[in-house]
């Protein structure tokens, strides 16, 4: 296990180094930060002074090394557009994005897994066909269209939910959450459902396919031959093995929810990192874009590492393969 963890950590370090290089190249080829700071009317002397102050007159690899050292410390400089430290902007926006992603993931799991199990065990019934039809719609429709339709129906016509904002939040030290207030939940419903629909349908179809595959295996036939009830066979044996690959996909999808909540946050004006990134792209705010890229890569790497460790712990075949040298 220790060798497995060390190997995964080494791979994660290489991935983060590659992402840091891509983020660093944003500073080199996407606009000139000095001109963005001073403006187009700056004199050559002013430009040279600011370049020296920022270390932009240093050799390429020296600049990259300084960028990596500062990134490890969480220091990405000042936002060009807003004039405040990027780390502070990320700290203010990250709780909203994480909250939205976790609620959407919980909703997708709580609804997607039972729907997938039902569609596998009762395939051919009218309700299973309805579930499969809805899953096709959920996979096919773009997220922004789903969000607009939900706003039109539940915010404009019915007036049940607000169409934008995060609502009332509670401050817990440096962390903010809307999960402790009724207005926070009220504002969270529509964006969470919008973000969860695609993941829900994906999980449902994956659970259905894996469940059907597991039900065809020999050990399920042997369990039936022993006289075990359908409940024990389906939920004690089949479902447990079905959820092993689902766990892997779900872990990676959580990273996707955090990274690709941009559209949902833009539609609902949710004050998270996705909306911050859109604003940074609009104003060519390179430090914010670089910090967002590195943070999202770190989230994916950490989640992938956790999923690998859970998969290693849950599936005994992996431990046997490692022990046997295969």
Model confidence pLDDT, tens digit, residues 260-316: 788 888 888 888 888 888 888 777 777 888 888 888 888 888 887 887 777 666 655
Determine the 3-state secondary structure of 326 from DSSP. Answer: coil
Q: What is the predicted pLDDT for the residue at 326? A: 44
Q: What is the mean pLDDT of each run of 10 residues along the chain (326 residues)?
A: 76 85 74 64 72 68 79 78 81 87 88 85 83 83 86 89 83 81 88 88 85 75 70 70 74 75 85 83 78 85 78 58 48
Q: What is the pLDDT of residues 177-206, one digit of tens each?
A: 888 888 888 888 899 999 888 888 888 888
Q: 273-295 burial string, b = 16+ CB within 10 Å, else e?
A: bbbbbebbeeebbbbbbbbbbbb
Q: In terms of Cα–Cα distance, which of 266, 268, 276, 248 is closest to 95?
A: 276
Q: What is the predicted pLDDT for the residue at 73? A: 81
Pairing mode, strands 170-172 and 175-177: antiparallel
Q: What is the predicted pLDDT for the residue at 72? A: 82
Q: What is the predicted pLDDT for the residue at 33? A: 64
| Residue 303 · residue 244 · CB < 8 Å | no
The β-bridge partners of 85 are 78
Q: What is the predicted pLDDT for the residue at 147? A: 87
Q: What is the predicted pLDDT for the residue at 28? A: 66
- Beta carbons within 10 angstroms of residue 79's beta carbon: 22
Q: Enter the DSSP assignment of 164.
A: S
Q: What is the predicted pLDDT for the residue at 30? A: 63
pTM of the predicted structure, to 2 decimals: 0.77
Q: What is the predicted pLDDT for the residue at 36? A: 63
Q: What is the predicted pLDDT for the residue at 215? A: 75
Structural domains of the chain, with CATH: 1-86 (no CATH), 91-319 (1.10.3720.10)
Q: What is the predicted pLDDT for the residue at 325? A: 47
């Amino acid at each position: 296990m220790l060798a497995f963890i060390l190997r995964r950590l080494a791979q994660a370090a290489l991935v983060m180094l590659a992402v840091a290089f891509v983020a660093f190249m944003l500073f080199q080829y996407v606009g000139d930060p000095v001109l963005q700071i001073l403006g187009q009317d700056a004199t050559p002397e002013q430009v040279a002074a600011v370049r020296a102050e920022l270390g932009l007159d240093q050799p390429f690899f020296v600049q990259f090394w300084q960028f990596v050292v500062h990134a490890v410390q969480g220091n990405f400089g000042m936002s060009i557009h807003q004039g405040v430290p990027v780390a502070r902007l990320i700290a203010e926006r990250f709780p909203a994005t994480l909250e939205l992603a976790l609620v959407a993931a919980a909703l997708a799991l709580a609804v997607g897994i039972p729907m997938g199990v039902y569609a596998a065990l009762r395939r051919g019934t009218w309700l299973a066909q309805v579930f499969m039809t809805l899953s096709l719609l959920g996979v096919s429709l773009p997220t922004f269209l789903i969000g607009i339709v939900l706003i039109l129906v539940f915010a404009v016509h019915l007036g049940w939910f607000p169409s934008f904002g995060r609502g009332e939040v509670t401050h817990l030290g440096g962390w903010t959450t809307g999960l402790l207030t009724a207005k926070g939940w009220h504002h969270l419903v529509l964006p969470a459902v919008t973000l969860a629909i695609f993941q829900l349908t994906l999980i449902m179809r994956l659970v259905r396919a894996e469940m059907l595959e597991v039900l065809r295996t020999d050990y399920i036939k042997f369990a039936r031959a022993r006289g075990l009830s359908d409940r024990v066979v389906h939920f004690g044996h089949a479902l447990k093995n079905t959820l092993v690959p689902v766990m892997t996909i779900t872990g990676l999808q959580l990273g996707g929810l955090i990274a690709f909540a941009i559209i949902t946050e833009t539609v609902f004006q949710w004050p998270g990192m996705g909306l911050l990134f859109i604003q940074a792209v609009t104003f060519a705010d390179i430090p914010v874009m670089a910090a967002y890229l590195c943070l999202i890569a770190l989230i994916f790497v950490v989640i992938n590492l956790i999923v690998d460790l859970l998969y290693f712990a849950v599936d005994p075949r992996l431990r046997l393969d490692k022990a046997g040298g295969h």
